[in-house]
Amino acid sequence: MKTIDELLADGVSGKRVFVRADLNVPLADGTITDDGRIRAVLPTVKALADAGAKVIVASHLGRPKGAPDPAFSLLPAAERLGELLGAPVAFAQDTVGPAAHDAVDGLQPGQVAVIENLRFNPGETAKDDTERGEFADRLAALADVYVGDGFGAVHRKHASVYDLPARLPHYAGHLIATEVGVLKKLTEDVKRPYVVALGGAKVSDKLAVIDQLLGKADRLLIGGGMAYTFLKAKGYEVGISLLQEDQIPAVTEYMQRAEKQGVELVLPVDVLVAREFPDLKTKAPSRFTTVDADKIPADQEGLDIGPKTRELYASKLADAETVFWNGPMGVFEHTDYAEGTKVVAQALVDSDGFTVVGGGDSAAAVRTLGFDENAFGHISTGGGASLEYLEGKTLPGLAALED
């Protein structure tokens, strides 16, 4: 895959460069609550602008239904990008219409424009190759060169991710090059002990990656809502905790495989339980108790790993040479149930090994809980993309850049 460094070496002054970024930032009443993904693409945008390119930044945001929706406008992201660049950023109120063409035509070398949410056009996410290709053709008319730097979207077969690179000279941006380099460290010539901590709500979201990691990792630490399906598979009462009963056979098989292959699969030994899910809006204190993992009351649900489990998991991470963490250990958004996630994050900070936070809620937790992002080896911008890469899947956006 050719990189932006090669593009810059060839010269881009005056060229229209289409940057497929991932500006899919969380918004609350139109205000960005986490600008991490915007900051992540900044090195690519700045390098191109400094080299005299006319930079066209494009992205999706949320899941609009193929039509304009003000709630999903990229305008706040465009404004934040301008603040971070310290220079005005033009904003086009459509994707491939008159506004987009006017914005691009008005660019001088070194200037940047953001076009509106790509998913406002149904061609972006169309299953039909022809419809997607037609939208890609219209996007290609805006630019001379394509730079893929939206790692959080490379697992999607979308027009701007998969079809557009085939229509223009294409290169990987700094972010994608970094992300792929990190993922190779997790899959090729891994330094051991290799410890993977997996959390989050649904075990079904992680089954494929567990399947792959059983042959690669030395230890798997399981937390979050997905842990209760494992505990149920051991025959434990899990009360009203998150549970995917249909996944119990698969989980049982994985536990048996782990034992046979000498992979240490570590489950919670105690949990914080409550009768009601906490109020995440008011963050009002809730009533909870700590119980052993095999003694969850039938009328209560597990909401975080307990103190003995936190200590256990920290010890299992302490000697790791490589760590991949994806998914919180509990309902970290509420103070009462954030400690498990905080302890895992701190263990990564304290580690002398190579530590990777696998995007998604894990990255959000790191920021929400006040950790210095530079204390980790890498914080991925794409949780889903990272997991699919580790599962061994071909990611359409990466395949398109490799051609």
d(CA 343, CA 289): 19
Classify residue 41 as exposed, middle or buried by CB count within 10 Å of its CB (0-12, 13-18, 19+): buried
For the cut 80, the answer to whether the pLDDT of residue 380 exceeds it is yes
Tokens of 134: 């037609």
Annotated binding site: which residue ranges? 22-24, 37, 60-63, 119, 156, 206, 302, 333, 359-362
Inter-residue contact 323 to 195 (CB < 8 Å)? yes
Q: Supply the pLDDT for residue 383.
A: 84
Candidate from 31-35, 52-56, 171-175, 394-398 with smallest mean pLDDT: 31-35
Q: Which of 148, 200, 383, 384 is catalytic?
A: 384
User: How many CB atoms within 10 Å of residue 286?
Assistant: 18
CATH number of this structure's domain 4-176: 3.40.50.1260
Q: Supply the pLDDT for residue 211.
A: 92
As a whole number, mean pLDDT of residues 361-385 equals 90
Annotated binding site for ATP: which residue ranges? 206, 302, 333, 359-362
Active site (annotated) includes residue 377 = no
This prediction has a pTM of 0.89
Annotated binding site for substrate: which residue ranges? 22-24, 37, 60-63, 119, 156
Tokens of 167: 């229509």
190-390 and 4-176 share a CATH fold: yes
Q: Where are the beta strands (DSSP E) in 127-177?
A: 145-148, 170-172
Q: Supply the pLDDT for residue 34.
A: 86
As a whole number, mean pLDDT of residues 324-332 equals 96
How confident is residue 364, by pLDDT bands cut at 50, 70 and 90? confident
Beta bridge partners of 264: 219
Q: Going by CATH, does the domain composed of 190-390 fall within 3.40.50.10240?
A: no
Q: Where are the beta strands (DSSP E) in 127-169?
A: 145-148
For the cut 80, the answer to whether the pLDDT of residue 18 exceeds it is yes
Q: Say which residue, 350 or 34, is predicted with more confidence.
A: 350
Closest to 258 (Cα-Cα) out of 221, 225, 286: 221
Q: Supply the pLDDT for residue 360.
A: 78
Active site (annotated) includes residue 37 = yes
How confident is residue 357, by pLDDT bands cut at 50, 70 and 90? very high
Q: Which of 15, 37, 80, 138 is catalytic?
A: 37
Annotated binding site for (2R)-3-phosphoglycerate: which residue ranges? 37, 119, 156
Average pLDDT over the chain, rounded to whole?
Answer: 95
Q: Supply the pLDDT for residue 223.
A: 97
Q: Which of 202, 275, 308, 367 is catalytic?
A: 202
For the cut 80, the answer to whether the pLDDT of residue 362 exceeds it is yes
Sign of CA dihedral 161, 166, 168, 174: positive
The Cα angle at residue 56 between residues 156 and 184, in degrees rounded to 5? 40
- Domain boundaries of the chain, sorted by first residue: 4-176, 190-390
Q: State CA 277 to chain mean position distance.
A: 25
How confident is residue 13, by pLDDT bands cut at 50, 70 and 90? very high
Q: Say which residue, 215 or 304, is predicted with more confidence.
A: 304
Closest to 304 (Cα-Cα) out of 351, 251, 344: 344
Which distant-in-sequence residues (6+ apart) come within 8 Å of 187 by Cβ?
216, 389, 390
Tokens of 332: 């970290």
As a whole number, mean pLDDT of residues 83-90 equals 97
Active site (annotated) includes residue 360 = yes
Q: Which of 360, 382, 383, 397 is catalytic?
A: 360
Tokens of 126: 């169309």
How many residues are listed for the chain in this entry? 403
Active site (annotated) includes residue 202 = yes
